[in-house]
Amino acid sequence: MTQWNFEADYFTACNCDWGCPCNFNARPTEGRCMGWGAWHILSGRYAEVALDDLKFALYYSFPGAIEAGDGCARAYIDSRASTAQRQALEAIGTGQAGGGIFDLFGAELVSQWLPPKLVSIEFELVDGQGRVRIEGVAEADSELLSYPDGSVIRPTLDLPHGIEYKHGLMTNTRRWSWHDGPFLASYANKYGAFSRVRFSEQGCIG
């Protein structure tokens, strides 16, 4: 298997309530899962191909709980990527190159991968606050959680054996929407998580 690794800022959101029951092996809020993740790679390599400052995103749709499988998904690849970089990000994102959660979803849980799309991706998140935009497809705004009196709180999840992230800052995805063929979703005030992650072909390593 090709050796690769990257360190990235990562943001994920879905249709579940804050915290996401799936993180605790519980049923998803709506009984189904519509979720996505976006990565801004700070530094990384796929064999000899540099991946620094590239972005990619994945959208998943499952008719029931994730572990039941039968998912449909698509990879969205940074349009600035060269051909070699595009191929590397596609291989990682769809699980062809290992990587723990990428491999689990790509090889076992997703039954249909739609063709990847080359798109412009904006990832403007600092400490869980900011936005993600995917050209012509999606947009999301994230903010820190707060009490009704306006007091900001910073709940975190520590998942030593996590395959998606090891330490995540929980956020409020103030709104997110996705409009791409069969992927149609629009939500407000739902689960979000922000994390600095490290991955290799062995999975999430930090």
**pLDDT per residue over 181-192, tens digit each?**
999 999 999 999
pLDDT at 170 over 90: yes
CA gap 150, 172 in Å, rounded:
13
The average pLDDT across 94-122 equals: 96
Does the pLDDT value for residue 85 go beyond 90? Answer: yes
How buried is 18 (Cβ within 10 angstroms: 0-12 exposed, 13-18 middle, 19+ buried)?
A: middle
pLDDT for 177 equals: 98
Domain boundaries, the chain: 4-204
| Segment 17-29 mean pLDDT | 89
Mean local confidence (pLDDT), 75-83 = 98
Entry pTM:
0.96
Averaged pLDDT, 153-157:
95
Task: Give me the pLDDT at residue 185, please.
Answer: 97
Query: Looking at residue 148, what is its pLDDT?
Result: 92
First-to-last alpha carbon distance for the chain, in angstroms, is 21
Mean pLDDT across 4-16 = 98
pLDDT at residue 24 above 90?
no
Over residues 32-78, the pLDDT tens digits come to: 999 999 999 999 999 999 999 999 999 999 999 899 889 999 999 99
Paired sense of beta strands 110-113 and 71-78, if any: parallel
Residue 26 has pLDDT above 90, yes or no: no
Q: Which of these, 146, 76, 83, lies nearest to 116 by C-alpha position?
A: 76
